[in-house]
A = this chain, B = another copy of it.
Amino acid sequence: MEKALLLIMDGLGDDAHPTPLQNARKNHMDMLAASGMCGYFHAISPGIAPGSGTAHLSLFGEDVETEYPGRGVFEALGAGLTLTENDVAFRGNFCTVKNGVVVDRRAGRIPSEDVKPLIKAIDGYEYEGVVFHIYPGTNYRAVVVATGKDIGKNVNATDPHETGLPVRECKGTDKPSKKLAKAINAFTSFVYKTLKDHPVNKERVKQGKLPGNMLLLRGAGKMKNITSLFQKLDVKCACVAGAPLYKGVAKYVGMDVLKVKGATGDKHTDIHAKAEAVKKALKTNDLVFMHVKATDSFAHDGDREGKQWMIERVDKEAMAELMKIDDLNIAITGDHTTSCIRKRHTGLPVPLLIYGPHVRQDKCVAFDEISVSKGCLGVLEGHRLIHVLLDLIGKMPEYGS
């Protein structure tokens, strides 16, 4: 039985010439490109720069318009939480507020050990039957879950997304969401009142650091129980990822999310350990999704060399081994382009390669934003890439036969 590996290097494509992927030494990926099929991928469509959550949901074959539950859900699932219909989940940031405005959205990248007692001080707050629980993420990041009867997710973020602006008042667009918005505003006041003179923050200020005296919320989401494409087609899938968001999307579509020691979701991640996990998972799964985050993070920081270095690590520490596996179909692409110059996601397509024991061999001999235009795959949008990959492993039913 043929199997499939879907390797996503987050934000893989880039805009400026030459790109980190063009500059990278990546012999193994180039060999796969030369023996296989190349083209471009758009998680949504040309010119649309998607967020990573929607991009992955679309990549996994789901209709984002109807099946996207909100990013908070992915973050919560990725953190190992279970959500019910009474929960609305958010991404949370500990930040610094001064004279009523946000002066640092990450509270000077406040570390986990400082965040822990802050969470303890505000966790479990209740307002008119709505209870707030906070779960720590990495450093300043957290997942916030509001639980209550008849609460809706159609509320705006309290995060102003820029410094120099006040924390936004929360508003809901319908009755259940208005109920939640009211509770969020009460929670926001409570958080500031409780944290502004918290001993941890006093100590931080004394040391010249920014206090984590506020918690910003965004990405409200409510769990939906979908029957994913993988579930409909009975495709057994596993996920090897470090960052919670990707584990969350994977769990949402029914993948088995593996625990991999050393998979950190940043530049220190143990690529070799992830490759070993992929190898093992392929024995009992039809498809394994492997995710590498740092390519995107470097691009957001405008670090071209860092992005190139990360691509080279993946090529050397993962692909050199994985490409040797018999009967393995391999798709390599990104969820979107992240420009090192613009330091944000952009809408240009991501290079794509598909290699397998029985695929066509086109004229493309290198894997980068330009070379793949010689390939035979053209431009695959949204669910189409996963359809092609599942068809290669015999998991797509014949249509209308």
Which residue numbers of A lie inside 8 Å of B, CB to CB?
A: 15-17, 19, 40, 44-54, 64, 68, 71, 339, 341-342, 344-349, 358-363, 369-370, 373-380, 384-392, 394, 396, 398-401
Q: Contact check, B369 vs A373: say whether CB atoms are below 8 A apart.
A: no
Copies in the complex: 2
Assembly CA distance A395 to B104 (angstroms): 26
CB-based closest 10 A-B pairs? A47-B387, A51-B401, A54-B400, A347-B391, A47-B388, A17-B361, A46-B384, A50-B399, A373-B376, A47-B391
CB of A21 to closest CB in B, whole Å: 11
Q: List 22 A-B contacts (CB under 8 A).
A: A15-B360, A16-B359, A16-B360, A19-B360, A46-B377, A46-B378, A47-B385, A47-B388, A47-B390, A48-B399, A50-B401, A54-B399, A54-B401, A342-B394, A344-B398, A346-B391, A347-B388, A360-B370, A363-B370, A373-B374, A373-B375, A379-B379
**A363 — nearest CB in chain B belongs to which residue?**
B370
Given A15-B360, A369-B376, verify A47-B399 contact (CB < 8 Å): no
Assembly CA distance A358 to B14 (angstroms): 10
**A48 — nearest CB in chain B belongs to which residue?**
B399
Assembly CA distance A389 to B347 (angstroms): 9
The listed residue (B49, B68, B385) touching A391 by CB distance below 8 A is B49
The listed residue (B16, B374, B392, B399) touching A44 by CB distance below 8 A is B399
Assembly CA distance A377 to B378 (angstroms): 10
Given A47-B387, A390-B47, verify A339-B362 contact (CB < 8 Å): no
Assembly CA distance A71 to B400 (angstroms): 8
Residues of B within 8 A of A344 (CB): 394, 398
Q: Contact check, B48 vs A391: say whether CB atoms are below 8 A apart.
A: yes
Given A360-B370, A373-B363, verify A50-B398 contact (CB < 8 Å): yes
Assembly CA distance A391 to B47 (angstroms): 6
Residues of B within 8 A of A390 (CB): 47
Assembly CA distance A171 to B389 (angstroms): 34
Given A51-B401, A399-B44, A400-B53, verify A358-B341 contact (CB < 8 Å): yes
Q: Contact check, B54 vs A387: say whether CB atoms are below 8 A apart.
A: no
Q: Contact check, A17 vs B379: say whether CB atoms are below 8 A apart.
A: no
Q: Contact check, B360 vs A369: say whether CB atoms are below 8 A apart.
A: yes
**A376 — nearest CB in chain B belongs to which residue?**
B373
**A17 — nearest CB in chain B belongs to which residue?**
B361
**A384 — nearest CB in chain B belongs to which residue?**
B46
Q: Contact check, B376 vs A378: say whether CB atoms are below 8 A apart.
A: no
Residues of B within 8 A of A369 (CB): 360, 376
Q: A47-B384, A51-B401, A363-B373 are in contact. List 7 more A-B contacts (CB 8 A).
A: A17-B359, A46-B388, A47-B396, A50-B401, A64-B400, A339-B358, A369-B376
**A65 — nearest CB in chain B belongs to which residue?**
B400
CB of A309 to closest CB in B, whole Å: 21
